[in-house]
Amino acid sequence: MKKIVECVPNFSEGRDSGVINAIADAVRATEGCTLLDVDSGYATHRTVYTFVGDPDAVVQGALAAARVARKKIDMTRHRGKHPRFGALDVCPFIPVANVTMDECVAVSKAFARKASQELKVPVFLYEESAAGDYRRRLPDIRQGEYEGLAERLKDPRWKPDFGPAEFVPAWGATATGARNFLIAYNVNILGTPNQAHRIALNLREAGRGEDQPGRLRDVKGMGWFVDEYGMAQVTVNLNNYRVTPIHLLFEEVKREAEALHVAVAGSEIVGIVPLESILMAADYYIEKEGLFLYEERSRIRLVIERMGLNSVAPFVSEKKIIEYIVADPPDEPLAGLSVRRFIEEISARTSAPGGGSASVAIAAIGTALGAMVAKLTQGVRKFETVEPQMQKSIPVLHELTRSLIPMIDADTSAFNDYMEGVRMPRDTPEEQAVRMARMQAGLKTAIQVPMAVMRHGDRAWDALCEVAKYGNPASISDVQVGAKALETGIWGAFQNVVINMADVIDPAFKDEIMTEARAIETRARIKCRQVLEILDNIQTTFLREKR
């Protein structure tokens, strides 16, 4: 599995497009790095870059960006509204996929060591990389900002972790470390910066001091005025969006603003966000307003509208949500074909795709037909009385259909491990034993694909029965075809399990899997018959009423 680390360096330049672009180009030119976002602020005089790569690549990308900043940014002339103490003010590394926090700590230290040696600048470690608790928080390290840095570096307690304990006027200092995913989030206020700051003080964890803590945990924040927007903002960092999610912060700001008789005019996410944080907000508004939304895109759209995420710049999901940005195109050579080409592939003089892939496609068609009829029934005035049943069934059938489609290709590639075992050497007893073990492991892996198809199909029956009972009677034939398709798809997957199990020598595995498979196959026949009986009765009544 590919290791992905996110790096979010913040540079003290938000006005000179030449410098901003040069730093971006340095990241883009680094092999293994993908630049995801560049977010500049004129008033803050700061640009936040977001890029991802493997652990080694992100170190090189951050170094490349820092080299440009060393040549082109002069902190002696810098003025901006955002707290800062260096040209490369802060450079966090965040685990995204298949990477531990400890690995990101090591990445941050590797960057700190190389940057301090090459650029001859002081570098501090913060967050999870900090040497002591008093150096963990960025505001503590950055206290006094650039203007107070020369005096601070004279204090032995604030000796840099890497590099010289000397003031470098053109650069200042840099903080780097490993941390959890941080969401930079601003809520727009049609009021004064003082009012925005007052709201921030009430909400941020530090509050107004130890005696007056704020209400929300893991939140850092302040209020300011952004000239290019013509609005004040409550600007926050959500250090742990699972503790204080974005929608909670937004709703609390609205509450505070109402008490001050000022209006909230939407909000903005700076940089990128995890999909989970957006879907958490969607769940909140869906429950609060009693809505019925099941498609991911619709849920995201709801959040954009309710939180005003388009208020100052377009919120484009493909550019703002990290899972969408880094997602590789689906490896679906079969599922991506046209229906004609897929059938022609099955008919070709090759063993794959064969009955396994066909069975998955047939099962997916079965669940899709059920989903279609439920969606055509839901929201129709004459079927208002069955709305609860449709709202319960639609998400199940919709998601099962989406989950089954990729298995069309998974079935065809399921024998890769087994075939690798077949090709292994077998000249000695030892080689034969290793080969047999690999082949057996490959067979078990291959069997799990049709078993997954059977399990997914089995989960559809209750929802399909509800659609048969309460769905639009004009679509009876669609549900009938769906039920028979689902039964056939499960039966086909079962036959794949049976034929592959013949060569498995592990009796415990055989017993466990075959017991489950037979139960699912038997239940499919029973449930299909049940659906058809329901539909036969409804069809008789429906046709009688039409005469």
Distance of alpha carbon 246 from the chain centroid: 15
Residues 14 and 116 in one domain: yes
Give the active site residues: 82, 411
Residues 26 and 141 in one domain: yes
Q: Which of the two residues, 271 and 46, has the higher pLDDT score?
A: 46
CATH (domain of 123)? 3.30.990.10
* Residue numbers of the domain that contains 305: 183-326
Q: Is residue 332 part of a domain?
A: no
Q: Is residue 368 part of a domain?
A: yes
Residues 301 and 359 in one domain: no
**At which of 178, 206, 232 does a domain end?**
178
CATH (domain of 458)? 1.20.120.680
Residues 412 and 533 in one domain: yes
**At which of 326, 351, 380 does a domain end?**
326
CATH (domain of 269)? 3.30.70.670
pLDDT bucket at 539, cuts 50 / 70 / 90 = confident
Q: Is the Cβ–Cβ distance between 50 and 6 less than 8 Å?
A: yes
Please provide the DSSP assignment of 518-544 as one string.
Answer: HHHHHHHHHHHHHHHHHHHHHHHHHHH
Q: How far from each other are the two terminal CA atoms of the chain, in whole angstroms? A: 62
Q: For the segment 285-342, what is each residue's pLDDT rounded down to a tens digit?
A: 999 999 999 999 999 999 999 999 999 999 999 989 988 887 777 878 888 999 999 9
Q: For the segment 215-265, what is each residue's pLDDT rounded down to a tens digit?
A: 999 999 999 999 999 999 999 999 889 999 999 999 999 999 999 999 999
Q: Is residue 333 part of a domain?
A: no
What number of CA atoms fall less than 13 Å from residue 69's CA on the CB side? 35
3-class DSSP state for residue 222? strand
In terms of Cα–Cα distance, which of 404, 412, 410 is closest to 351? 412
Residues 346 and 485 in one domain: yes
Token pair listed for 307: 């939180």
Residues 343 and 480 in one domain: yes
Q: Is residue 278 part of a domain?
A: yes
**At which of 154, 178, 202 does a domain end?**
178
Residues 174 and 48 in one domain: yes
Residues 461 and 477 in one domain: yes
Q: Is residue 216 part of a domain?
A: yes
3-class DSSP state for residue 34? strand
Q: Is residue 369 part of a domain?
A: yes
Q: Is the Cβ–Cβ distance between 176 and 91 less than 8 Å?
A: yes
Please give the tally of structural domains in the chain: 3
Residues 284 and 192 in one domain: yes
Name the CA radius of gyration of the chain, rounded. Answer: 30
Residues 124 and 220 in one domain: no
Judge whether residue 469 has pLDDT over 80.
yes
Q: Is residue 103 part of a domain?
A: yes
Query: pTM of the predicted model, to two decimals?
Result: 0.75
Q: For the segment 31-80, what is each residue's pLDDT rounded down to a tens digit?
A: 999 998 899 989 899 999 999 999 999 999 999 999 999 999 999 999 99
Q: Is residue 334 part of a domain?
A: no
Residues 365 and 277 in one domain: no
Residues 172 and 188 in one domain: no
Q: Over the range 220-249, which residues count as b (16 or more CB within 10 Å of their CB) and which as e?
A: bbbbbbbeebebbbbbbbbbebeebbbbbb
Q: What is the pLDDT of residue 54?
A: 92
Q: For the segment 375-419, what is each residue's pLDDT rounded down to a tens digit?
A: 999 999 999 999 999 999 999 999 999 999 999 988 777 777 778
Q: Is the Cβ–Cβ distance between 398 and 371 less than 8 Å?
A: yes
